[in-house]
Amino acid sequence: MKTHWKLERTPDGIGWLHFDHADSPVNILSTEAFEQFDGILAEIEADPPKGLIILSDKKSGFIAGADVKNFRNAQQPDQVEAHIHHVHRIFQRLEDLACPTLALIHGFCLGGGLELALACDYRIARDDQGTRLSFPEVRLGIFPGYGGSVRSVRLLGPIPAMKFMLGGRSISGRSAKRLGLVDQTAPERQLKHAASQLINSPPPPHRPAAWQRLLNISPARQLLSPILHRATAKKVRKAHYPAPFALIDHWRDTGGNEQVMFASEATNLGQLITSPTAQNLIRVFFLQERLKSVAAGIDFKSQQVHVIGGGIMGGDIAAWCALKGQRVTLQDREAKFLTQAINRAHKLFQRKLKSKRLVQAAMDRLMPDPRGYGVKHADVVIEAIYEDLEAKQTLFRDLESTVGPGTLLATNTSSIPLESISESLENPERLIGLHFFNPVAKMQLIEVVSGRETDPLLMQKGAAFSRSIDRLPLPVRSSPGFLVNRILMPYLLEAIELLGEGVPGPLIDKAATRFGMPMGPVELADRVGLDICLAVANKLAPVFNLEVPEQLHVMVDQKRLGVKTGGGFYRYEKGKAIKENPDSQFHAPNDLADRMIFRLLNEAVACLREKVVEDEDLLDAGIIFGTGFAPFRGGPMHYIHSGGLTRMRQRLNELEQLHGDQFHPDSGWTNLSGA
**What is the torsion angle, in degrees rounded to the nearest 10, for the CA atoms of residue 389, residue 394, residue 395 and residue 400?**
120
Which residue lies nearer to ligand NAI by CB, 20 or 387? 387
- Of residues 109 and 528, the one with the C-beta less far from ligand NAI: 528
CB 538 within 8 A of CB 414: no
Residue 435 beta carbon to ligand NAI: minimum distance, rounded to whole angstroms: 6
Which residue, 336 or 587, is less far from ligand NAI as judged by CB?
A: 336
Among residues 47, 451, 88, the alpha carbon closest in space to that of 269 is found at 88
Q: Residue 278: how many CB atoms within 10 A of its CB? A: 23
115 a catalytic residue: yes
Contact of 440 with 511, CB cutoff 8 Å: no
Q: Which of the residues 32, 35, 45, 137 is marked catalytic?
A: 137
DSSP annotation of 154 reads H
CB of 473 vs ligand NAI, minimal distance in Å:
15
Nearer to ligand NAI, 515 or 629 (CB): 629
Binding site for ligand NAI (CB under 6 A): 308-314, 331-334, 337, 384-387, 391, 395, 412-414, 435-436, 438, 532
Nearer to ligand NAI, 133 or 375 (CB): 375
Which stretch of DSSP H or E encloses residue 433? strand 431-436
Secondary structure string (H, E, C) spanning 173-190? HHHHHHHCCCCEEECHHH
Measured from the CB of residue 114, what is the shortest distance to ligand NAI in angstroms?
37
Residue 6, SS3 per DSSP: strand
Q: Which is nearer to ligand NAI, 116 or 532 (CB)?
A: 532
Q: Report the alpha-carbon distance of residue 225 to residue 159 in Å, rounded.
A: 10
Q: In angstroms, rounded to a whole number, what is the distance separating the alpha carbons of residues 85 and 582?
A: 51
Task: Give the residue closest to ligand NAI by C-beta.
Answer: 311
384 with 378: CB under 8 angstroms? no
Residue with Cβ nearer ligand NAI (175 or 340): 340
The reply to whether 137 belongs to the active site is yes
- Rounded to a whole number of angstroms, the minimum distance from the CB of residue 401 to ligand NAI is 16
Shortest separation between residue 310's beta carbon and ligand NAI, angstroms: 5
Whether 247 contacts 166, CB under 8 Å: yes
Rounded to the nearest whole angstrom, what is the least distance from the CB of residue 341 to ligand NAI in the complex? 8
Minimum distance from CB of 532 to ligand NAI (Å)? 6
- Shortest reach from residue 413's CB to ligand NAI, in Å: 4
How many CB atoms are closer than 10 A to CB 38? 16
Query: Which of 310, 315, 312 has the alpha carbon at shortest distance from 333?
Result: 310
Indicate the residue type of 590.
N
Q: How far is CA 651 from the centre of its chain?
A: 32
| Cβ-Cβ contacts under 8 Å for 517 (sequence gap 6 or more) | 627, 628, 629, 630
CA 452 to chain centroid: 31
Closest CA to 521 of 489, 495, 555: 495
Q: Residue 68 or residue 443: which is nearer to ligand NAI going by CB?
A: 443
Question: Phi and psi at residue 459, in whole multiples of 5°?
Answer: -60, -40
CB burial of residue 134 (10 Å; 0-12, 13-18, 19+): buried
Among residues 81, 115, 494, 603, the one annotated as catalytic is 115
Residues with catalytic roles: 115, 137
